[in-house]
Structure 1
């Protein structure tokens, strides 16, 4: 009788457990690591990254991100939540609500530390705006992990992010290949994102440097917060001023806002759309042949690595000062063969702001 009850209870738990909670191991994984962690645009090496099996105690971690407006940050949320759960640490996640809310992000981090956070992972709204706070935290022996977006601070404990300069150059090379296939000059409308963010600055430099010397003209560069309303307004302005756009490349919100606007173009006379990072919505749009391509920067994996780095620093274990996923362009040629576990949050996942 007891055996029957035990089996029944197990079946109830198994049925009620969401499929995304049944996580398979994410490591070992090949990552890029900057030779100089303070210059992730420079030379890098490939490393095999293996995470810890378990934390030695229930450390309390704080994760600060710009927002949860799109599924890129939902994927990051999934990555940090799953890794915190796997390692056995507590986590509080604070979305600041948008790239205009730097002061609010600072307040949230200060609040989280006041409540006992022992390490802080920051996806910064501004590349320089949190440097004073980072210095204060490090002075208090609270490790700070630079997550996804990049900060210019020289005292960070570690970085889990890709070089957006490299993301920009990879995206630019894809446009160069497109131009060579079409054998004609191309006009590009470029929507990098919020101007003060480090990842935007680096991505812009990478794209501009890659396209230099090629018959490809960036006819406009439009900066703005990565919400669809803001990006939609920038697109409308661009369409009103330019009628000769061949390629629209930009942040995921801009590309998704552009999709319904493509109806204004008859037949095949439409600009092609290229996102310079991957979200689930972009992935689905590539699969439906609505978006041409996007580089994968593995948001889930960045979150997983950052949690492992934080625990390693807290426990005095060896760690890499910089580790980031390898950048890969996804388009129609390979989308059917991509393992999305490191890239996208699974279907059915909803935001998790606290892991106790």
Structure 2
């Protein structure tokens, strides 16, 4: 069941969700209501999300991201910034520089607490690695909202992140739909950084969807940091080790790296699929360099994270676990996707602080 196939229930005042043009976000007011799953009870229920509006006071919100290396996290940041501006709150954003830098994110979390933040929104490098910090924040009465990356939901009053296994599954469906009757897919997966939680879930969702299909074979799984340089090395190794590989499935930086590596190797038969979105993936899709990519609507996730924090501070009703619906985007579906919830405007420069007026 998807939220598009069932009757929705409103969490806000507005209803309906219009389709947008193919350009990224230009007007924050067009983002909502946003179709989601309310998974607070453990059972995903179709719903619509609308923010509470302007905050009662100019609260101080502290936001932590794993990195800002690609346009995916820039999109989340765009949602954070624009919703903070709309709510008229103060916001400070810190990024740790990469998934290998958990100690830095732990230190940044401490800085947020020491600064007197009214709430913390965190894109966790590791949910398990931050568990103790979540307890410390709770003891001090500071609400923490998990955004984008999976966290132990029992540790937090609110979070929003996609069902990553489902997201991996929709990309697998895209691959299966592209195969001819007698076509064989020899796949190497490049899920992302081991221990992140989302990488493992993406991978499991993909494998589950293709399991039992005699035309699909998983040759190997290569975990690694989601930077392009690391992914390029993994791809080059796989091209040497598995000459019969004809499908590369992995992160957006994997796909970015694969385009050049595959061209250099003269492998015109290679199918490239990204497990998530960024601007480079949209551009590559339009050029025909990749088959498809999945989306979790990161602009919307960033905006919802700010709203969840404000609701917690003001003790207003809050959806404990918001989950966007995963969707696969290929050349046939891109005209119907609300791209202003997927990517920041191409000319937007990341902003690391917002001051309330």
Q: Does 1:104 align with 2:104?
A: yes
The residue aligned with 1:343 is 342
Partner of 2:75: 75
Conservation of the 8 A alpha-carbon contact between 1:20 and 1:349? no
Q: Secondary structure at the match of 1:108?
A: helix
Distance across 1 between alignment mates of 2:175 and 2:30: 35
CA offset at residue 35 of structure 1?
5.0
Distance, in Å, in 1 between the alignment partners of 2:273 and 2:182 is 19
SS at the partner of 1:223?
Answer: coil
Question: Unmatched 5+ residue regions in structure 2?
Answer: 1-23
Partner of 1:279: 278
- Separation in structure 1 between the aligned mates of residue 299 and residue 104 of structure 2, nearest angstrom: 25
Distance in 1, Cα, partners of 2:85 & 2:153: 29
Contact 2:249 2:274 in 1 (8 A): yes
> How far apart are the structure 1 equivalents of 2:334 and 2:52?
31
Specify the alignment match of 1:95 in structure 2: 95
- What is the alpha-carbon distance in structure 1 between the residues aligned to residue 173 and residue 90 of structure 2? 42
Determine the structure 2 residue equivalent to 1:220: 220
The question of whether the paired residues in 2 share the 8 Å contact of 1:20 and 1:348 is answered with: no
Name the structure where helix makes up a greater proportion of residues: 1
Q: Tell me the alpha carbon deviations over residues 263-301 of structure 1, each in whole angstroms, 9 at most, x when there is no partner.
A: 2454x7421110010101101110111111011111100
2:255 is the counterpart of 1:250? no
Matched-pair contact (CA < 8 Å) for 1:55–1:311: yes
CA contact (8 A) 2:34 2:300 kept: no
Maintained 8 Å contact 2:25/2:340 = no
Task: Give the Cα–Cα distance (whole angstroms) in 2 for the partners of residues 91 and 306 of structure 1.
Answer: 12
Distance, in Å, in 2 between the alignment partners of 1:353 and 1:321 is 26
Check if 1:163 corresponds to 2:163. yes
Instruction: For residues 120-164 of structure 1, give each alpha carbon's deviation from its aligned partner in whole angstroms, at most 9, with x where no partner exists.
Output: 111111131000000110121111111101112522011111110
> What is the alpha-carbon distance in structure 1 between the residues aligned to residue 330 and residue 135 of structure 2?
41
Q: Tell me the secondary structure at the aligned position of residue 191 of structure 2.
A: strand
Number of residues of Structure 1 aligned to a counterpart in Structure 2? 331
Cα RMSD over matched residues? 1.6
CA distance in 1, matches of 2:283, 2:74: 15
Residues 1:152 and 2:157 aligned together: no
Tell me the alpha carbon deviations over residues 58-98 of structure 1, each in whole angstroms, 9 at most, x when there is no partner. 11111111000000000001000000000011111110000
- The residue number in structure 2 matching 1:14 is none
Unaligned runs of 5+ in 1: 1-18, 38-42
Q: Which residue is 1:260 aligned to?
A: 260
- 1: distance between equivalents of 2:154 and 2:50? 26
Distance 1:127 1:314 in 2: 22
Three-state SS of the structure 1 residue aligned to 2:284 is helix
Q: TM-score, normalised by structure 1?
A: 0.89
Look up the match of 2:134: 134
Structure 1 residue 29 corresponds to structure 2 residue 28: no
Tell me how far apart the structure 1 counterparts of residues 336 and 317 of structure 2 sit (CA, whole Å). Answer: 34
TM-score, normalisation: structure 2: 0.89
Partner-residue secondary structure (3-state), 1:341: helix
Counterpart position of 1:209: 208
Report deviation, 1:329: 0.9
Task: Select the structure of larger CA radius of gyration.
Answer: 1
Aligned-pair CA distance for 1:338: 2.7
